[in-house]
Amino acid sequence: MESQQLHVIFVPFPTPGHMIPMIDTARLFAKHGVNVTIIATHANASTFQKSIDSDFNLGYSIKTQLIHFPSAQVGLPEGVENVKDAISTEILGKISRGIMMLQHQIEIMLHDLQPDCIVSDMTYPWTVESAAKLNIPRIYFYSSSYFSNCASYFVRKYRPHDDLVSEKQKFTIPCLPHTIEMTPLQLADWIRVKTSATGAFGAMFDSEKRSYGTLYNSFHELESDYETLSKTTMGIKSWSVGPVSAWINNDDERKANRGNMEKNIGKDSELFNWLNSKPNDSVIYVCFGSLTRLSHAQIVELAYGLENSGSNFILVVREKDKDGDGEDFLHDFAKRVTESKKGYIILNWAPQLMILDHPSTGGIVTHCGWNSILESLNAGLPMITWPMFAEQFYNERLLVDALKIGVSVGSKVNKFWLNIGEEKAPRLDIVEEEVVVKREEIVKAVEILMGSGQEGKAMRMRAKNLSDAAKRTVEKGGHSYNNLIQLIDELKSLKITREHEKIRLDN
């Protein structure tokens, strides 16, 4: 009865923060009886294929269809196919051009495979037309919170940041259930001022409205007010099926393979021996996601801040953070903290899920990328919030003001992620010294989060409660579990209706 099985095609966008949760969601669909195809280029597929093979060997119907990244045409070396590989605007431009050129191959594949539904990354508005041609539903995959989508919607609609006397002046975001204040400096450029990027984002938002609905990697218990707001006020049908990463990567092997970029760091590695040697809840994990690049000045402040806090810590730095002066500084810093056994430095890619779930880890310093937030939450960890770019400043407000499980380090400026490492002040109203978060602020935040004070204790308790809710929601009968089953059932009925309609028309 192969033809009766629902066939869903997933089209991920090649950046870890979008691709990782979409692959996990695709695997969840397969685990619940759907025939799943993921379309990806070679180098990107190699980061998740191990998990797909393992699911396939367990009997799930899931496969990857490879397409060719036009490296030569855009002037890139083989294997540079992911946004995270960009170390300059020039390379980013080439990667983006290569990604845009994939459209034709994807359209041919969609036509050949004739799926029953397309789950598309939010950044591919053209998949609305692809789905329309095939007369099938298109689901918009949003890779952040309901909160950020609602906040961004009302900021765009009412522009409460226009006409303030300074870019540092606070404004309140209208129509939200909580009082949420931000400054214009914390908004992304494309929304703060009207730039050409508004056009690309406009097409994306328009494609959400023209989709069958939106899929969120979130869960009801976490942001139900905003889930309701997005469904009612914004009028967009949606399903929250998260946290997907914890749901599908539920043992050590799966956690280690998840988003695997390089070699596996296993449980018997130096890193985990170091973690095992630390008391429970004593280590703070510091990671700014897959894209952010820190300036040398910021690395210095961060390093001294962590060292002066007296806490044990794991710091993830990128190879590209080490330019120039940074190289010697980081080398000396790593040597010092290795000797004192206070710190552990990871270059490039950390096995984040395994670190967060380790009993010695007691908190995280995060750039407020949505996946890192959900993963920390699932592990019951409170957070130091240090947003850098895009919608991360909204996510910070969710953690600090609404959920009260975050301490803000006081990040002031939203910069394009590739320019975060640049020393020059990005905006008129702010000088470089204000862009860099100072060591004293880092020490203060770590002391609140990891210390024995009331504020830290209360945050840890709330984070623990949310972690329990995150675990319950993906169990049989939980909200996310039910939402996933309901969505799959709905897609099956649409398929049957379509087939009946076809038979009727053929006769």
For the annotated catalytic residues, the residue numbers are 18, 121
The minimum distance between CB 130 and ligand UDP, in angstroms, equals 25
Closest residue to ligand UDP in the complex (CB): 17
DSSP H helices in 32-126:
42-45, 49-57, 71-74, 89-100, 102-113
493: Cβ–Cβ under 8 A, 6 or more apart, which residues?
none
The minimum distance between CB 350 and ligand UDP, in angstroms, equals 4
The minimum distance between CB 441 and ligand UDP, in angstroms, equals 21
What is the three-class DSSP state of 9?
strand
The minimum distance between CB 143 and ligand UDP, in angstroms, equals 7
Our CB check for ligand UDP shows the closer of 69 and 285 to be 285
| Interface residue list for ligand UDP (CB under 6 A) | 16-17, 20, 259, 287, 289-291, 316, 349-350, 352, 369-372, 375
Pairwise CA distance, residues 239 & 241, whole Å: 6
Our CB check for ligand UDP shows the closer of 41 and 371 to be 371
Taking CA atoms, 126 is separated from 173, 206, 476, in Å, by: 31, 11, 35
243: Cβ–Cβ under 8 A, 6 or more apart, which residues?
217, 218, 219, 374, 375, 377, 378, 470, 474, 480
Taking CA atoms, 432 is separated from 88, 157, 170, 420, in Å, by: 21, 31, 20, 11
The minimum distance between CB 340 and ligand UDP, in angstroms, equals 23
Q: What is the 3-state secondary structure (H, E, C) of 305-338?
A: HHHHHCCEEEEEECHHHHCCHHHHHHHHHHHHHH
Our CB check for ligand UDP shows the closer of 229 and 350 to be 350
The minimum distance between CB 258 and ligand UDP, in angstroms, equals 7
Is 391 within 8 Å of 443 (Cβ atoms)? no
Our CB check for ligand UDP shows the closer of 140 and 288 to be 288
* C-alpha angle 175-413-90 in degrees, rounded to nearest 5: 115
Our CB check for ligand UDP shows the closer of 258 and 278 to be 258
Our CB check for ligand UDP shows the closer of 183 and 352 to be 352
Is 136 within 8 Å of 115 (Cβ atoms)? yes
